[in-house]
Amino acid sequence: MLPVVSHATGVYVYDQEGLEYLDGCSGAINVNLGHSVPEVTSRMHEQIDRACYAYRTQFRSQPLMRLTELLVELAPGDLKHVEYCNSGSEAIEMALRLATLIHARAYRPFKCTVLTEEPSYHGMTAGALGASGHPLRRQNLTPLLANQATVSRVRPKHGSLRAGVHDWEAAIERIGPANLSAVMIEPVGGASSGAVPTAPETLRRLRELADQHQFLLIADEVMSGLGRTGRWFGCEHAGITPDVMVLGKGISAGFAPIAALLASDKVADAAGQPLGTLLFGHTMAGTPLSAAAGLAVVEYLKAHDVPAHAAEAGEHLHELLQGLRQRHRVISDVRGVGMQMALGVHSDASRFPGTSLDLVEAARREGLLLYPSGVSPALESVMVAPPLVSTDTELDELAVRLDRALTRLSPAAPVADAS
């Protein structure tokens, strides 16, 4: 049975029994500023008293307009056209609709295959899941995902989770560039691969190929966006601007449902009409209340230069996790960027007979919340992704609790071949 939450503050969550949990995974890797941030909640209270709701086709709102300006200012390149919705999955659906509609408008309806990575995760709604290389979450849903039969995925090379430039080139060749609507990629993997970063040269080559073959490059920055990787956006590590960028967790930071799609001038021109009227949308999209929360979050990120803090804190976290890897046989590797980190969990039963869920449970018993990731036994991992604002002392405490959890699974011992 799940514990009943009582209250939460900073990096700590408390249940009704009075037990304390250090949030080592920021909820679902979205509570980027920690819990109960007065600079955000006070602005939400103000907005509640002013107007919670206005329908997106009838009104704009001050917080939404200011949030849009801020996102455009922060985003790379000319990603100036912004549409809102409520969740990362919905924003991915919008990106998929946009790619499809643009090609249809240009009399290229056959350009409809979306190429994504395996493993990857882009959301639980049908289109987003159809485009996700996540066998576990797709299980038994094939009838619902039937329209996505044409989706191709780059399979990981044996023993490697990273699809390289040549894997992508081969997949694009196989599908035929004329049939390719979009390539969608997480600049740093999330729940599926467990924080495996995409190599910058791969992103740069995909940018070239997208221009050459007129498919859209969609960056799924639902998890990596707005500071998580130690930069404002994951794409910045490769210095590229995608055609479409999708944001989610990072904008809402857990305060209110809000997600966004940002599109370039080229995409907006090809759409030929305002994106909102082309894409249609959702009842609760970009409400004044959600926008007020999102605006307060992004202003906080900017005022405190949270991405830079995340870069530094991420280095400290990385050192701590490497130290644990030296001592615990369960961990196969430490990976990730900034504060989007994961521990690979050995699938070899002689080293560890359990699964990543056992580690998550052992951590919970030690008062530490972690996020299980990985799509199959061979790819087991656990994400360690605390709030971006975590202090070194809080990260040290995280490592102490994680050490105890790992000791619960198997007594600490030096690993001979920790290469």
For residue 415, how far is the Cα from the chain centroid? Answer: 32
Pick 76 or 234: Cβ nearer ligand PMP? 234
29 token code pair = 């890797």
Question: Can residue 220 be called a binding residue for ligand PMP (CB under 6 A)?
Answer: yes
Pick 191 or 296: Cβ nearer ligand PMP? 191
CB of 351 to ligand PMP, least distance (A): 28
Pick 255 or 352: Cβ nearer ligand PMP? 255
> How many residues bind ligand PMP, per CB under 6 A?
15
CA distances from 78 to 58, 251, 267 (A): 27, 19, 10
CB of 418 to ligand PMP, least distance (A): 29
Question: Can residue 232 be called a binding residue for ligand PMP (CB under 6 A)?
Answer: no
CB of 220 to ligand PMP, least distance (A): 5
Q: How far apart are CA 326 and CA 53, in angstroms?
A: 52
CB of 252 to ligand PMP, least distance (A): 8
CB of 116 to ligand PMP, least distance (A): 11
219 token code pair = 């960056």
Question: Can residue 191 be called a binding residue for ligand PMP (CB under 6 A)?
Answer: yes
Find the part of the chain contacting ligand PMP (CB under 6 A) among 11-19, 43-51, 118-126, 357-365.
118-126
Pick 113 or 252: Cβ nearer ligand PMP? 252
Question: Can residue 234 be called a binding residue for ligand PMP (CB under 6 A)?
Answer: no
Backbone angles phi, psi at 344, to 5 degrees: -70, 140
CB-based burial, 303-331: b 16+ in 10 Å, e otherwise: eeebbebbbebbeebbebbeebbebbbbb
What residue number has its CB nearest to ligand PMP? 88
Question: Can residue 122 be called a binding residue for ligand PMP (CB under 6 A)?
Answer: yes
Q: How far apart are CA 399 and CA 119, in angstroms?
A: 28
Q: Give the residue, chosen from 32, 89, 113, 193, that forms a contact with ligand PMP under the rule CB under 6 A.
A: 89
CB of 109 to ligand PMP, least distance (A): 26
14 token code pair = 């408390």
Which amino acid, residue 17? E
Backbone angles phi, psi at 323, to 5 degrees: -60, -40
Q: How far apart are CA 306 and CA 326, in angstroms?
A: 30
CB of 199 to ligand PMP, least distance (A): 18
Question: Can residue 40 be called a binding residue for ligand PMP (CB under 6 A)?
Answer: no
Question: Can residue 134 be called a binding residue for ligand PMP (CB under 6 A)?
Answer: no
Which amino acid, residue 404? R
Q: Among 31, 13, 63, which Cα is nearest to 252's?
A: 31
Q: Taking CB under 6 A as the criterion, which residues in 244-283 touch ligand PMP?
A: 248
Task: Give the number of other Cβ atoms within 10 Å of residue 212's Cβ.
Answer: 10
Find the part of the chain contacting ligand PMP (CB under 6 A) among 39-47, 153-161, 217-225, 275-283.
217-225
Q: Taking CB under 6 A as the criterion, which residues in 367-406 touch ligand PMP?
A: none
83 half-sphere exposure, CB direction, 13 A CA radius: 27
CB of 223 to ligand PMP, least distance (A): 4
Question: Can residue 121 be called a binding residue for ligand PMP (CB under 6 A)?
Answer: yes
Find the part of the chain contacting ligand PMP (CB under 6 A) among 1-9, 47-55, 83-91, 154-162.
83-91
Pick 220 or 358: Cβ nearer ligand PMP? 220
Find the part of the chain contacting ligand PMP (CB under 6 A) among 139-147, 185-193, 263-271, 292-300.
185-193
Question: Can residue 93 be called a binding residue for ligand PMP (CB under 6 A)?
Answer: no
Find the part of the chain contacting ligand PMP (CB under 6 A) among 73-81, 121-129, 152-160, 326-334.
121-129
**Residue ranges in contact with ligand PMP by CB under 6 A:** 28, 87-89, 92, 121-123, 186, 190-191, 220, 222-223, 248
